[in-house]
Amino acid sequence: MNNNYIANRSKGKMKSDILKIGAMAKADKALGNHVIDATIGVFLNDDKSINTVPAVIDNLNNNVTKNVGYAPITGYPAFKEGLLKWYLKDQYEKRINEYYIPFGATLGGTGALSIAFNIFLDPSQVVLLPSIMWGNYKLIAKKAGLKHDTYQLFNSEGNFNITNLCTKIEEYSGSQSNILIVLNDPCQNPTGYSLSDEEHLRLIKKLNKLSEKVNITVIYDIAYLDYDGNNKQVHRIFNNLFNNEIKFLPVFAASCSKVFGMYGFRVGAIFTFVKDEELASNITSAIESQIRGTYSSPNGPALSCLGNALLGEDIDKLSNEIYTNTLTLKVRTTYFIDKLNEANIKHLPYKSGFFVCLPCSDAYDICEKLKEQHTYLIPIADDIVRIAVCSLNISEIDELVMVLKEVM
Ligand code: PLP
């Protein structure tokens, strides 16, 4: 006998995990220190309470214990309808008649990504991730038995690097019959980059061409979608796909954490739009068996509350509340970017969303030095520091810029 109970595939520690650095910031604060904590991707109000959506909270308060049974494997139909209506707005009827829409309610966006990684590639195949990314993709890939490679997120002009992504697809199309790509857009974590329509349309064209040789699935990670543009209109990402011929498979990994303020309830969804009935049925079966064989069914009480809220009479109120939240974030991030520019501190291309990234020579060293000043940021790579502006108020932003000026 020995102590080696853990199977090889489950060995290994997580490196520089965001939650761990966040916990350090909290511990520092508990010691009575004045702490700037810009570690975790949770949108906080100025008073540090979690930014939520009152219409969603009301529904949870009134209904969360009314439906405590097991949900169907892929979630309640009302949740599917509510979420798709949220994304598709007045195009909902048209699109549900035009497409089959395989759909699964998941445990957050993370659950949706995990399902996608498991059902679109076989073990040992390579998923293509952005070079600057939410690090958890790598762990989700590893747990799905996948390897990963990265495509360069930006080209030398600071725009989305379509050329490098296509080169990577060509490289792997020789050895893999299926290619899986993650595109975290809009409001990319950690840069805050969003593809312009022109970039997205060019990407679609290129992917269509490459799809003549190999099956390509693009996972659109839309965890932050409503923080880009105006949430009253169908997001342009959908319009660009609906208004063009698409020869690859676009799959959406949706999260109800960031937009609906339901972080801990673990609600999200995986869905796609396809015209082929057999493909739709196969995708649905794959989603179902993945859910059933991992956690059996999603969080029924939370799904039914959000479904009620999205289909209820107060939908305009809910939508206005989310719009107000997005404006609050915009004011904060615009202020931060202006302050960085005034202080001559470089940042990576930013359009919208929770985070801003600073390029630097040694991110780990800088983050250690900042900790001495009770300031907690995330070294996202050797040469990039991530700042969760979503969790800072204006006076903290002022303080942070002062500290950054000193340390960087
Ligand atoms: N995708 C991105 C880019 C994220 O930043 C996150 C969370 O931080 C998620 C997906 C998953 O969020 P959740 O699992 O809470 O829905």
Q: What is the pLDDT of residue 341?
A: 97
Residue list, ligand 1 pocket, CB within 6 Å: 41, 108-110, 134, 184, 189, 221, 223, 255, 257, 263, 268
Q: What is the model's pLDDT at position 15? A: 63
Question: HEC string of 17-45?
Answer: CHHHHHHHHHHHHHCCCCCEECCCCCCEC
Of the chain, the percentage scoring pLDDT greater than 70 comes to: 100
For residue 182, report the distance from its CA to the centre of ligand 1, in Å. Answer: 13
Q: From ligand 1's centre to the CA of 204, what distance in Å?
A: 24
Residue 39 pLDDT exceeds 70: yes
Q: Which residue is closest in CA terms to ligand 1's atom 3?
A: 189
Beta bridge partners of 251: 219, 272
Given this model, what pLDDT does residue 14 score?
72
Are the beta carbons of 139 and 117 closer than 8 angstroms? no
Predicted TM-score of the model (pTM): 0.96
User: Is residue 108 pLDDT above 70, yes or no?
Assistant: yes
Q: Are 204 and 242 in contact (CB under 8 A)?
A: no
44: β partners = 50
Query: At residue 351, does pLDDT exceed 90?
Result: yes
Query: Average pLDDT over the chain, rounded to whole?
Result: 96
Tell me: the pLDDT tens digits for 313-349?
Answer: 999 999 999 999 999 999 999 999 999 999 999 999 9
Query: Is the pLDDT confidence value at 19 over 70?
Result: yes
Nearest CA to ligand 1 atom 9: 109
CB 353 within 8 A of CB 192: yes
Nearest CA to ligand 1 atom 8: 41
Per-residue CA distances from 111 to 197, 284, 383 (Å):
28, 15, 29
Ligand 1: centre distance to CA 349 (Å): 20
8 Å CB contact between 273 and 95: yes
- Condensed to tens digits (0 to 9), the pLDDT of residues 363-394 reads 999 999 999 999 999 999 999 999 999 999 99
Retrieve residue 340's tokens. Answer: 């960085």
Q: Residue 258 Cα, ligand 1 centroid: separation in angstroms?
A: 8
- Which of 18, 42, 110 to mutate for ligand 1's pocket (most ligand atoms within 8 Å of CB)? 110
- Tell which one of 187, 220, 258 to mutate to probe ligand 1, the residue whose CB is within 8 A of the most ligand atoms: 258
pLDDT digits (tens, 9 = 90+) for 42-71: 999 999 999 999 999 999 999 999 999 999
**pLDDT exceeds 80 at position 13:** no
Q: Give the residue whose CA is nearest to atom 2 of ligand 1.
A: 223
pLDDT of residue 12: 82
Of residues 364 and 3, more confidence is placed in 364
- How far apart are alpha carbons 403 and 279 in whole angstroms? 54
**Closest C-alpha to 132, from 363, 326, 368, 397:** 363
pLDDT for the residue numbered 130? 98
Does the pLDDT of residue 144 top 90, yes or no? yes
Q: How far is CA 253 from CA 53, 149, 184, 312, in A?
A: 21, 20, 9, 24
pLDDT at 16 over 70: no
For residue 72, the model assigns a pLDDT of 97
Question: pLDDT tens digits, residue range 206-259?
Answer: 999 999 999 999 999 999 999 998 889 999 999 999 999 999 999 999 999 999
The Cα–Cα gap between 204 and 73 comes to 32
112: CA distance to ligand 1 center in Å?
10
Q: Which strands form 378-381's sheet, in the order they lie side by side? A: 355-359, 384-388, 378-381
